[in-house]
């Protein structure tokens, strides 16, 4: 992406954002859209604030992520307005004046105190759709989040503009730098905490700017799906390493997972390779017209085939899926939408007017049930895990005889495997943003 292309992509993106806002307001019978960036939240009985997270409805308009107290105000047919808080403050770093390729498209008003925004917002709050957290209320501008507006905007947010795809490519490049550094740290014998620091250093982001908390898991910790404890002492020698870590760019996220074996010639590495190959076949299924629910069920069949190939189960993949045995080893969904949020919104939306597309029976943790269409970006993250709690239930159930428990015991010390890429659906071949970033690196 060249510097000259960003202004063009952004202009086209903003045209689409404005058009969606026009349609959403018309459906709700309202005159204007008002979007606060958000405010700082302070801990109870303390003067420490939580890390600031920008309202995703705000950063859909502008690539600003560290600007509490600012507002977007938009009336159809008029130039959008950015009310930009640049406080007088010698305790903290003050945001720089707005600059960049996006600024010519806004009427920008700089304020010094949050309350000054009231003079620059539409005159009648009752005629506005105000999208944000309750804490962002300012005078009569209290976020009401009208459902008709949210339904429309969130449904269409699944269709990424070329500008948004470019943002996610930039986030992926940053994330891949972190992943490569994390693997090097693992190979060098670092602890989970040390690997996390190596990732943050290479990605140039920390807990306040990463899109989610890094999962850095050695050995059996990989069997905890959202493991975030980050031990300070590494096992000697380590057996395996699972890292689920992303990065951000201009408010857009990437979400990448890789798994490594310490013994690169051992059987667990062979299982990783098998999951990786199956995952790439799943990524190739990200095509227009594909029901994501079917992709999830196909993932169960593929992973059950791997379990059978490695002697863990004796039943057919179809029987493993039907009986729920595959869900013991693959207990989460195959992925989710991604963009302004890691788990992007409207994954179950039946239409831009509302409604819900149900999850497949027996698969409560799937986060996306829509049919894929060009512009959608989804994660594909199959996994195989050896989770004691789930295995105990299986051992006591009617299908215990279909499992080779000695094989389970052989793999249990490695924890588990997950491979995850971010994949864009197009009119033709899918775009694997993650694999492209690894190849470019």
Average pLDDT over residues 279-297: 98
Confidence class for position 3, pLDDT limits 50, 70, 90: confident
- Residue 27: which CATH number? 3.40.350.10
pTM: 0.96
- What is the per-residue pLDDT across 145-174, written as a single tens digit (0 to 9) for each? 999 999 999 999 999 999 999 999 999 999
Q: Are residues 66 and 212 in the same domain?
A: no
Q: Which among 371, 378, 312, 315 is positioned nearest to 344, based on CA atoms?
A: 378
Q: 292 with 390, same domain?
A: yes
List pLDDT tens digits, range 381-411. 999 999 999 999 999 999 999 999 999 999 9
> What is the number of alpha carbons within 13 Å of residue 216 lying toward its C-beta?
27
Q: Which range of residues forms the domain containing residue 125?
A: 5-156
pLDDT score of 1 more than 90:
no
* Number of structural domains the chain divides into: 2
Q: How many CB atoms are located within 10 Å of the residue 336 CB?
A: 20
For 2-6, 184-188, 210-214, which range has the lowest pLDDT when averaged over its residues?
2-6
Residues 6+ apart with CB under 8 A from 328: 387, 390, 391, 393, 394
In this structure, the answer to whether residues 269 and 125 fall within a common structural domain is: no
Last residue of a domain, one of 156, 183, 211: 156
Alpha-carbon distance 180 to 176, whole Å?
6
Pair 135, 239 in one domain = no
Q: Are residues 335 and 429 in the same domain?
A: yes
> Which has the higher per-residue pLDDT, 104 or 47?
104
- Residue 4: what pLDDT? 78
Measuring CA to CA, which residue among 393, 320, 404 is closest to residue 362? 320
pLDDT of 207 reads 85
How far is residue 37 CA from its own chain's centroid? 19
Residue from 235, 193, 190 nearest 215 by CA: 193
Q: Please state the separation of Cα 373 from the chain's center in Å.
A: 18
2: pLDDT strictly greater than 90: no
Q: What is the pLDDT of residues 304-358, one digit of tens each?
A: 999 999 999 999 999 999 999 999 999 999 999 999 999 999 999 999 999 999 9
pLDDT one-digit tens code per residue, 223-270: 999 999 999 999 999 999 999 999 999 999 999 999 999 999 999 999
- Closest residue by Cα to residue 150 from 310, 309, 349: 349
Question: Tokens 């905890």 label which residue?
Answer: 224
The whole-chain average pLDDT of the chain stands at 97
Residue where a domain terminates, one of 156, 191, 215: 156
Are 331 and 261 in a shared domain?
Answer: yes
Q: In percent, how much of the chain has pLDDT > 90? A: 96
Residue 5 has a pLDDT of 92
Q: Could you tell me which residues come within 8 angstroms of residue 81 by beta carbon, excluding any fewer than 6 positions away?
A: 72, 73, 74, 106, 107, 108, 109, 120
pLDDT tier for residue 127 given thresholds of 50, 70 and 90: very high
Instruction: List the CATH number of the domain containing 318.
Output: 3.90.230.10
């Amino acid at each position: 992406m060249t510097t000259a292309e960003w202004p063009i992509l952004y202009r086209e993106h903003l045209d689409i954002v404005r058009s969606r806002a026009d349609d959403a307001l018309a459906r709700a019978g309202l005159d204007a859209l008002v979007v606060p960036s958000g405010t700082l939240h302070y801990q109870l009985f303390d003067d420490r604030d939580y890390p600031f997270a920008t309202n995703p409805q705000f950063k859909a308009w502008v690539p600003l992520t560290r600007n509490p107290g600012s507002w977007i105000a938009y009336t159809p047919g008029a130039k959008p307005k950015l009310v930009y808080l640049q406080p007088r403050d010698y305790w903290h770093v003050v945001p720089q004046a707005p600059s960049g390729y996006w600024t010519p498209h806004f009427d920008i008003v700089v304020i010094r105190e949050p309350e000054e925004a009231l003079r620059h917002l539409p005159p009648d709050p009752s005629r506005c759709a105000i999208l944000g957290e309750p804490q962002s209320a300012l005078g009569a501008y209290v976020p009401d989040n009208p459902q008709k507006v949210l339904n429309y905007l969130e449904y269409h947010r699944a269709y990424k503009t070329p500008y948004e795809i470019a943002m996610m490519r930039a986030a992926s490049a940053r994330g891949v730098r972190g992943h490569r550094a994390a693997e090097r740290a693992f190979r060098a014998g670092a602890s989970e905490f040390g690997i996390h620091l190596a990732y943050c250093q290479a990605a140039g982001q920390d807990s306040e700017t990463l899109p989610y908390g890094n999962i850095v898991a050695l050995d059996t910790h990989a069997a905890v799906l959202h493991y975030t404890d980050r031990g300070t002492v590494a096992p000697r020698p380590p057996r395996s390493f699972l890292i689920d870590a992303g990065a951000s760019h201009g408010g857009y996220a990437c979400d990448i997972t890789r798994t490594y074996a310490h013994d690169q010639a051992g059987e667990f590495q062979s299982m990783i390779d098998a999951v990786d190959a199956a995952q790439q076949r799943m990524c190739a299924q990200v095509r227009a017209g594909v029901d994501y629910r079917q992709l999830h069920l196909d993932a169960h069949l593929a992973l059950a085939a791997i379990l059978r190939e490695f002697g863990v189960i004796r039943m057919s993949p179809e029987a493993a899926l039907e009986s729920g045995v595959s869900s013991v080893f693959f207990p989460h969904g195959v992925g989710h939408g991604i963009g302004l949020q890691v788990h992007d919104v409207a994954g179950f939306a039946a239409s831009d007017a509302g409604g819900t597309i149900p999850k497949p029976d027996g698969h409560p943790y799937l986060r996306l049930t829509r049919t894929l269409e060009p512009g959608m970006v989804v994660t594909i993250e199959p996994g195989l895990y050896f989770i004691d709690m789930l295995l105990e239930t299986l051992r006591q159930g009617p299908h215990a005889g279909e499992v080779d428990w000695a094989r389970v015991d052989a793999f249990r010390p490695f924890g588990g495997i997950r491979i995850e890429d971010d994949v864009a659906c197009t009119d033709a071949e899918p775009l694997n943003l993650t694999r492209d970033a690894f190849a470019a690196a």
